[in-house]
Structure 1
Amino acid sequence: MTGAIPAEWPYGAAFWQRLGRSIMDVILHMGAHRTATTTFQHYMRDHVDGLSTQKLAYWGPERARGTVFPGLFRNSIAPKGRNLAKRAEGRIRLFAAQAKVQGVEQLLVSDENLLGNCKQNIRAERLYPAAGERTARISAAFAGRVRRIVLSIRSQDLWWASACALTVSRGHPVPSVRRLANIAQSRRSWRDVITDMACAAPGAQIDVLTFEAVTGQPERVLRTALEREVPTDTRHRWLNRSPDVQALRTGLADQGSDPDLLPDELGRWQPFTPEQTAIMRENYADDLHWLLAGADGLARLTEDTCPNRAERYLPSGTFKKGQRHDQGPIEGHVAQHR
């Protein structure tokens, strides 16, 4: 029947692309938190009308959290025996099918909470411990139509410091010395997060950007997601920045907590010791080295194509390395080194 929604979408966007069949591509911008995701989402709101003429639909956090994904990550049964996860999966497929009927060729979903949230990370004392499971549920909900996942990463010492500042500013307790030490000593890095995501969505290309390279340039995130020219951001925003120490102390006092839980100093709050900071920076350096080396064919690092110092970057023409750039015509997930 024309216009009917199929019970099951064919699994794997790449499969249909190889057959030459036209489908709607799903692109996920999954954060991470504290990497200018809010700035990117405001940029998308500014340009969504113009991009819609290019057959692109955009689901930001308001729609993703409000109407599309609620219940997807819950295993509980609602009243009347309704399975919340199954209902969410059906709702996602329905909305995706409606977008396809309306002529949408690319659906961009941007919500950093798809990976979890900062509070969960701090409680678990690890980076996105459920990244694999959550990515698998999203991929299944879209029935394998996820073509690309875009992830921004940041040096762990600054990421965790920013995450702690955010949660404290929202009324959560100041992390204990023991918890901070456990976080600093955790062996889970961005490499593990990316590997989990790649295993959960094997048909999707994972593109990784560094926060240090894209700060203040939300158009670079969109250009990576769409692989074409996009509108330039002229507003030079950096939204939802971490509050400084004095703002956090004031917030604690307003909440009735002891402001002396934080140091009485100026500038950014760095809750970790210099030794802990050094450990996390070394872990980030290892992550970047792994990505530059091809990420075992699981992901692609998109670097700055306009370097200020040539010696700090790869030679011209080799700014991307990973699964689809190393493979050539070979299908699979193992990089082919030449």
Structure 2
Amino acid sequence: MDVILHLGVHRTATTSFQNWMLANSEILSRQGIAFWGPERTRAGLFAGLIKRADLVSAQDILSARRSATRIRMEIDLLEDQGFHTLIISEENLIGSIPHCLQHGILYPDARGRLERVAMVLGPHLTGVAMGIRRYDAWWASMLAVERARGGEMVNPQRLRMLAQSGRGWPCVIEAVEQAFGKRPHVWTHEAMAGRHEVLLRRLAPRAALYPGQTVPVARFNAAAAVQGQLGRGYMPFSVAQRGQMTARYQNELERLRQGHRDLAIMETGGAAPGGYSAIPLTEEGWVDDQQHRGRQASGMG
């Protein structure tokens, strides 16, 4: 059985994809594809696993062991029922929005978090996947979420720190590879956001979906929640900072293509990555930040 772990990441239309998968779960089930999203992972199934590595307690270790047993039993049951593919989508496995903002870098403890997940899924895991996004748009979206949660307005010093942050997507991708011993499939948010059918076929090549067969879902956005406070198309970075961040993103994508021939940088359609002049007005993937789908049970941190 193929078990594919979709790590998100945050602010890359992850929740829209999860909601789309749920809306089409019956169709996918008939094709042998099962799906676990936050409604499962945060309701106790991944208890003890969704937490900062430096905050893991003895109780979390015990919970993780119990989760490992339950997860493996459920995977075996799915296989017995005729499923050939399981897609697990949980962005909080790789880290959290507050932790990224606190340190001013991308997923500072990703490897430690994911190594614990690898110990549980390792025997079954066949693939890992994640999206990445232009730095100015990603950080602006993260700051918008923080503001919507009651955070303070960002100051120029903090913006400079984020614009010059030394840990980029290649470092995160390397951490994922080190944790799982597998190169992750990577796509750009700019090209793939909202293209759920295309993304599913990348994750599960045996999926046979036809035009009009799937159920569309509404888009969720963080920007709409804070427009009254921050204005439409919130972008706190200066033109110079955005240029610096976008140039870095483009350069990193090119190096990833050259240095990782088997790394799947999927950029199907759309403009060139980093070529957008403004953050989209419609942001996807925030609804999970408003929901509490089993947060206490999962021990999130």
1:171 & 1:231 partners in 2: Cα distance?
Answer: 43
Q: CA deviation at 1:155?
A: 0.3
SS at match of 2:223: coil
Listed as ranges, the matches of 1:181-330 within 5 Å are 181-202=160-181, 204-228=182-206, 229-232=208-211, 235=216, 237-243=218-224, 246-247=227-228, 249=229, 266-295=231-260, 297=262, 299-304=263-268
The answer (yes or no) to whether the contact 1:35–1:154 under 8 Å persists in 2 is yes
1:85 & 1:75 partners in 2: Cα distance?
Answer: 10
Listed as ranges, the matches of 1:1-338 within 5 Å are 24-72=1-49, 73=51, 75-78=56-59, 83-202=62-181, 204-228=182-206, 229-232=208-211, 235=216, 237-243=218-224, 246-247=227-228, 249=229, 266-295=231-260, 297=262, 299-304=263-268
The answer (yes or no) to whether the contact 1:291–1:300 under 8 Å persists in 2 is no
Instruction: Tell me the number of residue pairs that the alignment of Structure 1 and Structure 2 aligns.
Output: 266
Q: CA deviation at 1:35?
A: 1.1
SS at match of 2:224: coil
1:277 & 1:294 partners in 2: Cα distance?
Answer: 25
Any runs of at least 4 consecutive aligned residues in structure 1 with deviations exceeding 6 A, and if so which? none
User: C-alpha deviations, 1:150-202, integer Å up to 9, x for none?
Assistant: 21111010000001101211223334433322221111111111111111111
Instruction: Give ranges in structure 2 of 5+ residues lacking alignment.
Output: 276-301
1:124 & 1:100 partners in 2: Cα distance?
Answer: 41
**Which protein has greater RCO, CA pairs closer than 8 Å, 6+ apart?**
2
SS at match of 2:256: helix
C-alpha change, 1:180 and 1:88, in structure 2 (3 Å) is farther
1:300 & 1:245 partners in 2: Cα distance?
Answer: 34
Q: CA deviation at 1:209?
A: 1.2
1:185 & 1:130 partners in 2: Cα distance?
Answer: 19
2:161 & 2:180 partners in 1: Cα distance?
Answer: 30
User: C-alpha deviations, 1:129-160, integer Å up to 9, x for none?
Assistant: 12222222212101342111121111010000
SS at match of 1:243: helix
Q: Which residue of 1 aligns with 2:283?
A: none
1:294 & 1:217 partners in 2: Cα distance?
Answer: 27
C-alpha change, 1:308 and 1:270, in structure 2 (3 Å) is closer
2:210 & 2:44 partners in 1: Cα distance?
Answer: 28
Q: CA deviation at 1:106?
A: 1.1
Q: CA deviation at 1:61?
A: 0.9
The answer (yes or no) to whether the contact 1:245–1:268 under 8 Å persists in 2 is no
The answer (yes or no) to whether the contact 2:37–2:88 under 8 Å persists in 1 is yes
The answer (yes or no) to whether the contact 1:60–1:110 under 8 Å persists in 2 is yes
Q: In structure 2, give the amino acid aligned to 1:275.
A: A
1:46 & 1:87 partners in 2: Cα distance?
Answer: 29
Q: CA deviation at 1:93?
A: 2.4
The answer (yes or no) to whether the contact 1:151–1:208 under 8 Å persists in 2 is yes
1:91 & 1:111 partners in 2: Cα distance?
Answer: 17
C-alpha change, 1:181 and 1:96, in structure 2 (3 Å) is same
SS at match of 1:293: helix
Instruction: Give ranges in structure 1 of 5+ residues lacking alignment.
Output: 1-23, 250-261, 313-338
2:25 & 2:36 partners in 1: Cα distance?
Answer: 10
The answer (yes or no) to whether the contact 1:26–1:107 under 8 Å persists in 2 is yes
Q: CA deviation at 1:115?
A: 1.2
Q: In structure 1, give the amino acid aligned to 2:100.
A: N
Q: CA deviation at 1:294?
A: 4.4
Give the alignment's Cα RMSD to 1 decimal.
2.5
2:199 & 2:258 partners in 1: Cα distance?
Answer: 22
Q: CA deviation at 1:122?
A: 0.4
2:159 & 2:245 partners in 1: Cα distance?
Answer: 12
1:197 & 1:60 partners in 2: Cα distance?
Answer: 19
C-alpha change, 1:269 and 1:234, in structure 2 (3 Å) is same
Q: In structure 1, give the amino acid aligned to 2:241.
A: Q
2:270 & 2:235 partners in 1: Cα distance?
Answer: 29
Q: Please report the TM-score for the alignment, with normalisation by the length of structure 1.
A: 0.71
- Which stretch of structure 1 is more off in the superposition, 102-111 or 174-183? 174-183
The answer (yes or no) to whether the contact 1:144–1:201 under 8 Å persists in 2 is no
SS at match of 2:187: strand
C-alpha change, 1:103 and 1:183, in structure 2 (3 Å) is same
